[in-house]
């Protein structure tokens, strides 16, 4: 086919560029994927060998799609397309020895890493540690992505906690080495080291991968930058594509300056800007544009489209998250009933996976098929992880983490005490746990029964290990059979047993599929593939179901109809991102990404009250709503209550549609809605001084209104009688304590309910 005829001049410029660095700044929906794949086809057309091309994408799914498209344009060409992590894993299998690790290394995922950090912290500081394992874990990850060594982190440490973190980092590294394991970030870090310390290897890889393409370049971190740089010295035929406005992985170490400084890093590079949007309606694009303009740390850019105006963007306010979910479900049902869309045309995005639950429920009861992307991934389920740990231990006998996980699963009478003795003995001798288990009779303090147990277990694993070069599917079947795992599951899981057995079946068929695709593979290849898989890789757009996912997962996708829910302060922007402008701008970009996924219709919503962590809480509208072109939008408030008065978080904001200054509420009731009631009214005592009954309504968990501070929630009460005090956390972030009998606090209750809203 003609690779150029249907392209715009800009797209054509990018596609026809062959040698030298190329930066493609591609706005949302500007046909970027098409440009990249065409360019690869064009490279192949011009006689460049497929093995000289390396294409890096953000997810395996994107890689698969690109591979397919390239295959369609240039059949039979075997271009390597994959993620940074996949590429590095492969490279590391060949060059492991250069950084002192074994080629059969195991890849630890985040849960494994957290487990390892916990072990290390306990060993280092016992119960004394003042830093949480989670914080240490993320600090280690951050350090690695920034190419900071344990020594450097130690030198940098300013206080005791940072010192302990650095120490834990060093100990963690040792532990991984002893287990012959690497974590996600190590895949990158080790490759950086290989490239840095071995000029010959670097030169040969640079020569091999003469044409490098990196997609989503705005989300690369320092380690990834270093890899790309090292592969583009002798042959700087590097093409990167991305959009600074869509950078949403800063928390993972992504460095926006990689793309902003590209022209500086690669002098003489060609820059192509793709600004025309082919995806969305004018209305949707206008919303995206107005929003993203509020980012100050940004190169101004216009978003243009020749697409029709389209329907106005819709913003709906509901009373509670269940109402919101039902409204979404009802709207979806209506759209499909009208015949214009299928379920698979629709996606619902939210900030956190935890927010999907009410949506799921509503979709279920409306009998709308859906699939959820993310959340607890299939491979993180306990039963799956157990079996995978057996495989891991078979493939890598030094994997102490896997050993500890399964040595007593199913129960073999090897509890904590026995394991502690074994660990100590192994540590003294510098042996892996499996090796120590084989000679458990030499470990101090073990009872005969435990010695026998460990040796039996070691024998079992050794026997299984003999099967290591068999197909993964068969290995899994053998593990299940020889460990009696299915029986153990049946005995130990009450009503979930069926589900869990089904998960094991699914694991077997996953292994089978892998086997078909990679006939030559070994168990550790299967494990690596699983570990490096992302939730979105399992997503199938063909199933005829509504898609439910986080805004992060939505990157790179598009849907005719998009819903974005829970546009509330604390959720979007997330409360953890509230501290500085940088994080706040990333949150804004996140919403921008969500909005620009929509092709024809966009529905935004928020709920006035949200139950989170089992607690009802009044919410405030996301500040981002005020940044949208509200006059062009269609808005309806179906909550049946109006906003209370509250001090705007910043600026004056008054007069805007989302912040109604008038509203200390004339109680208004609507079926199933809310009204605001005073404690006095509740108890029927009609507005006099608070009676004991009034005070009874003011309990922890109850949402209240204060005329000055706005909505809040009672977090604690203290004392009794007239001097009883209550602490209220207000939605503005401040917390205050009042004498309940005196304070003008009013509980928010459900119409027709029997009493104040209660927690739990």
Partner DNA sequence: GGGTCCTACATTTTT
Partner DNA sequence: TGTAGGACCC
**In the complex, minimum distance from the CB of residue 447 to DNA, in angstroms, rounded to a whole number:** 7
Provide the terminal-to-terminal Cα distance of the chain, rounded to the nearest Å.
62
Spatial separation of the C-alpha atoms in residues 162 and 157, rounded to whole Å = 5
Q: Per CB under 7 A, which region of 428-436, 471-479, 531-539, 733-741 contacts DNA?
A: 531-539
Q: Which of 3, 152, 352, 743 binds DNA (CB under 7 A)?
A: 352
Q: Is 246 a catalytic residue?
A: yes
Per annotation, catalytic residue among 8, 12, 16, 33: 33
Tokens of 140: 């280690």
553 binds DNA (CB under 7 A): yes
Residues binding DNA: number (CB under 7 A): 48
Nearer to DNA, 83 or 277 (CB): 83
Q: Per CB under 7 A, which region of 235-243, 534-542, 593-601, 735-743 contacts DNA?
A: 534-542
User: Restricting to residues 592-621, which ones interact with DNA according to CB under 7 A?
Assistant: 611, 613-614
Per annotation, catalytic residue among 32, 282, 405, 746: 32
Nearer to DNA, 59 or 622 (CB): 59
Tokens 């922007």, located at residue:
573
Spatial separation of the C-alpha atoms in residues 521 and 471, rounded to whole Å = 8
Task: Assess contact for 704 and 748: CB atoms under 8 A.
Answer: yes
Spatial separation of the C-alpha atoms in residues 584 and 563, rounded to whole Å = 22
**What is the CB neighbour count within 10 angstroms for residue 418?**
23
Q: Is the dihedral of CA 421, 425, 430, 432 positive or negative?
A: negative
Q: Is 496 a catalytic residue?
A: no
Nearer to DNA, 298 or 574 (CB): 574
Per annotation, catalytic residue among 218, 241, 246, 550: 246
Length of the chain as a residue count = 760
252 binds DNA (CB under 7 A): yes
**In the complex, minimum distance from the CB of residue 44 to DNA, in angstroms, rounded to a whole number:** 25
Spatial separation of the C-alpha atoms in residues 286 and 268, rounded to whole Å = 34
Q: Is 696 a catalytic residue?
A: no
User: Restricting to residues 43-72, which ones interact with DNA according to CB under 7 A?
Assistant: 58-59
Q: Which of 171, 450, 562, 757 binds DNA (CB under 7 A)?
A: 450
User: Restricting to residues 104-123, which ones interact with DNA according to CB under 7 A?
Assistant: 109-110, 118
Torsion of CA 359, 360, 362, 367, to 10 degrees: 140
Q: At residue 458, what are phi and psi to the nearest 5 degrees? A: -60, -40
Cα-based distances in Å from 534 to 91, 351, 373, 538, 552: 20, 18, 10, 7, 12
Q: Per CB under 7 A, which region of 162-170, 310-318, 409-417, 681-689 contacts DNA?
A: 409-417
Per annotation, catalytic residue among 215, 326, 585, 601: 215
Three-class DSSP category at 435: helix
Nearer to DNA, 532 or 557 (CB): 532
**In the complex, minimum distance from the CB of residue 118 to DNA, in angstroms, rounded to a whole number:** 6
484 binds DNA (CB under 7 A): no
Residue in 397, 343, 672, 349 with CA at minimum distance from that of residue 524:
397
- Residues 234-255: b if buried by 16+ CB within 10 A, e if exposed: ebbbbbbbbbbbbbbbbeebbb
Three-class DSSP category at 758: coil
Q: Which of 414, 440, 458, 489 binds DNA (CB under 7 A)?
A: 414
Per annotation, catalytic residue among 175, 597, 713, 750: 597
Per annotation, catalytic residue among 109, 112, 137, 216: 216
Nearer to DNA, 283 or 418 (CB): 418
Q: Per CB under 7 A, which region of 4-12, 319-327, 414-422, 741-749 contacts DNA?
A: 414-422
218 binds DNA (CB under 7 A): no
Check whether the bond before 410 is cis (ω within 30° of 0). yes
Q: Is 499 a catalytic residue?
A: no
Nearer to DNA, 746 or 750 (CB): 750
Q: Which of 134, 174, 506, 718 binds DNA (CB under 7 A)?
A: 134
Spatial separation of the C-alpha atoms in residues 375 and 218, rounded to whole Å = 25
DSSP labels for 106-155?
EEE-HHHHHHHHHHHHHHHHGGG--S-HHHHHHHHHHHHHTT--HHHHHH
Nearer to DNA, 184 or 592 (CB): 184
Q: Is 597 a catalytic residue?
A: yes
655 binds DNA (CB under 7 A): no
User: Restricting to residues 153-212, which ones interact with DNA according to CB under 7 A?
Assistant: 184-185
**In the complex, minimum distance from the CB of residue 516 to DNA, in angstroms, rounded to a whole number:** 23
Q: At residue 143, what are phi and psi to the nearest 5 degrees? A: -60, -45
Q: Count Cβ atoms within 10 A of the Cβ of residue 215 and give its class: 0-12 exposed, 13-18 middle, 19 or more buried.
A: buried
Q: Is the dihedral of CA 652, 655, 658, 662 positive or negative?
A: positive
Spatial separation of the C-alpha atoms in residues 528 and 396, rounded to whole Å = 12
**In the complex, minimum distance from the CB of residue 592 to DNA, in angstroms, rounded to a whole number:** 14
Q: Which of 8, 408, 685, 751 binds DNA (CB under 7 A)?
A: 408
Q: Is 601 a catalytic residue?
A: no
Nearer to DNA, 429 or 582 (CB): 582
- Residues 452-461: b if buried by 16+ CB within 10 A, e if exposed: ebbeebbeeb
**Parallel, antiparallel, or unpaired: how do β-strands 22-26 and 346-350 relate?**
unpaired
- Binding residues for ATP are 26-33
529 binds DNA (CB under 7 A): no
User: Restricting to residues 77-106, which ones interact with DNA according to CB under 7 A?
Assistant: 83-86
- Binding residues are 26-33
Task: Assess contact for 411 and 405: CB atoms under 8 A.
Answer: no
Spatial separation of the C-alpha atoms in residues 230 and 609, rounded to whole Å = 52
Q: Per CB under 7 A, which region of 275-283, 412-420, 478-486, 639-647 contacts DNA?
A: 412-420
417 binds DNA (CB under 7 A): yes
353 binds DNA (CB under 7 A): yes
550 binds DNA (CB under 7 A): yes
**In the complex, minimum distance from the CB of residue 298 to DNA, in angstroms, rounded to a whole number:** 19
Task: Assess contact for 55 and 66: CB atoms under 8 A.
Answer: yes
**Parallel, antiparallel, or unpaired: how do β-strands 237-242 and 22-26 relate?**
parallel
Q: What is the Rg, in whole angstroms, of the alpha carbon atoms belonging to the chain? A: 29
536 binds DNA (CB under 7 A): yes
**In the complex, minimum distance from the CB of residue 510 to DNA, in angstroms, rounded to a whole number:** 16
Angle at which helices 497-517 and 523-531 cross, to 10°: 110
Residue in 532, 522, 564, 301 with CA at minimum distance from that of residue 396:
522
Nearer to DNA, 200 or 448 (CB): 448
Tokens of 105: 């290394």
User: Restricting to residues 560-589, which ones interact with DNA according to CB under 7 A?
Assistant: 574, 576-577
Nearer to DNA, 715 or 737 (CB): 715
11 binds DNA (CB under 7 A): no
Residue in 639, 615, 609, 620 with CA at minimum distance from that of residue 748:
609
Q: Which of 207, 251, 308, 513 binds DNA (CB under 7 A)?
A: 251
487 binds DNA (CB under 7 A): no
760 binds DNA (CB under 7 A): yes
Q: At residue 615, what are phi and psi to the nearest 5 degrees? A: -120, 135
Residues near DNA (CB under 7 A): 58-59, 83-86, 109-110, 118, 132, 134, 141, 184-185, 248, 251-252, 351-354, 374, 408, 411-418, 447, 450, 532, 534-536, 549-550, 552-553, 574, 576-577, 611, 613-614, 760
For the annotated catalytic residues, the residue numbers are 32-33, 215-216, 246, 597
């Amino acid at each position: 086919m003609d690779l150029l005829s249907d392209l715009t001049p800009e797209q054509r410029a990018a596609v026809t560029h062959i040698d030298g660095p190329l930066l493609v700044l591609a706005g949302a929906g500007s046909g970027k994927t098409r440009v990249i794949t065409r360019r690869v086809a064009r490279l192949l057309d011009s006689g460049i060998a497929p093995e000289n091309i390396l294409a890096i994408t953000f997810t395996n799914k994107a890689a698969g799609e690109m591979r397919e498209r390239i295959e369609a344009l240039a059949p039979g060409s075997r271009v390597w397309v994959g993620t940074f992590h996949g590429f590095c894993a492969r490279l590391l299998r060949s060059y492991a020895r250069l950084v002192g690790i074994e080629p059969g290394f195991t890849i630890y995922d985040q849960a494994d890493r957290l487990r390892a950090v916990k072990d290390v912290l306990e060993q280092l500081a016992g119960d004394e540690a003042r830093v949480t394992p989670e914080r240490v874990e993320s600090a280690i990850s951050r350090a690695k992505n920034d190419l900071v060594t344990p020594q450097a982190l130690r030198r940098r440490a300013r206080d005791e906690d940072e010192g302990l973190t650095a120490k834990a980092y060093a100990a963690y590294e040792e532990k991984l080495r002893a287990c012959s394991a690497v974590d996600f970030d190590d895949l990158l870090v080790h490759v950086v080291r290989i490239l840095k310390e071995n000029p010959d290897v670097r030169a040969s890889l640079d020569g091999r991968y003469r044409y490098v393409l990196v997609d989503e370049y705005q989300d690369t971190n320092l380690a990834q930058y270093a890899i790309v740089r090292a592969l583009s010295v002798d042959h700087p035929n590097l093409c990167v594509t991305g959009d600074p406005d869509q950078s949403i992985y800063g928390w993972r170490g992504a460095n926006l300056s990689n793309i902003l400084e590209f022209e500086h890093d690669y002098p003489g590079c060609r820059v192509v800007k793709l600004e025309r949007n082919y995806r969305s309606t004018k209305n949707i694009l206008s919303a995206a544009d107005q929003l993203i303009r509020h980012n100050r740390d940004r190169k101004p850019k216009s978003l243009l489209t020749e697409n029709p105006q389209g329907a106005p963007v819709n913003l709906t306010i509901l009373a509670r998250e269940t109402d919101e979910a039902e409204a979404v479900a009802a709207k979806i049902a209506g759209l499909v009933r009208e015949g214009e869309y299928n379920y698979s045309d629709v996606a619902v995005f939210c900030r956190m996976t935890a927010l999907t639950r009410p949506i799921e429920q509503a979709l279920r009861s409306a009998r709308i098929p859906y699939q959820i992307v993310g959340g607890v991934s299939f491979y993180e389920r306990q039963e799956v992880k157990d079996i995978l740990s057996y495989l891991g231990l078979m493939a890598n006998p030094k994997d102490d983490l896997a050993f500890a996980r399964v040595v007593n699963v199913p129960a073999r009478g090897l509890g904590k005490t026995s394991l502690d003795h074994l660990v100590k003995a192994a540590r003294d001798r510098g042996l892996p746990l499996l090796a120590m288990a084989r000679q458990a009779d030499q470990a101090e303090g073990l009872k005969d029964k435990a010695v026998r147990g460990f040796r039996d277990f070691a024998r079992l694993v050794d026997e299984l290990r003999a099967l290591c070069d068999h197909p993964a599917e068969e290995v899994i079947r053998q593990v299940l059979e020889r460990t009696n795992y299915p029986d153990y599951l049946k005995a130990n899981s009450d009503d979930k047993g069926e589900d869990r057995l089904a998960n094991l079946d699914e694991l077997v068929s996953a292994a089978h599929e892998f086997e078909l695709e990679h006939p030559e593979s070994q168990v550790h290849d299967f494990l690596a593939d699983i570990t490096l898989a992302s939730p979105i890789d399992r997503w199938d757009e063909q199933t005829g179901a509504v898609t439910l996912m986080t805004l992060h997962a939505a990157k790179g996708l598009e849907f005719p109809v998009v819903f974005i829910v829970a546009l509330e302060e604390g959720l979007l922007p997330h409360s953890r991102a509230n501290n500085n402008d940088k994080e706040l701008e990333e949150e804004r970009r996140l919403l921008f990404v969500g909005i620009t996924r929509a092709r024809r219709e966009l529905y935004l919503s928020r709920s006035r009250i949200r139950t989170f962590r089992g607690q009802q809480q009044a919410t405030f509208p996301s500040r981002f709503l005020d940044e949208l072109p509200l006059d062009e939008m269609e808005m309806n408030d179906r909550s049946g209550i109006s906003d209370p008065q509250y001090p705007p978080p910043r600026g004056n904001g008054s007069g805007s549609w989302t912040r109604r200054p008038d509203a200390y509420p004339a109680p208004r009731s609507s079926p199933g809605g809310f009204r605001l009631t005073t404690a006095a009214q509740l108890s029927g005592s009609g507005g006099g001084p608070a009676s004991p009954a009034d005070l009874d309504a003011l309990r922890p968990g109850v949402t209240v209104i204060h005329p000055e501070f706005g909505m809040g929630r009672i977090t604690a009460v203290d004392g009794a009688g007239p001097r009883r005090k209550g602490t209220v956390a207000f939605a503005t972030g401040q917390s205050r304590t009042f004498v309940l009998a005196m304070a003008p606090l009013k509980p928010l209750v459900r119409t027709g309910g029997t009493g104040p809203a209660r927690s739990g």
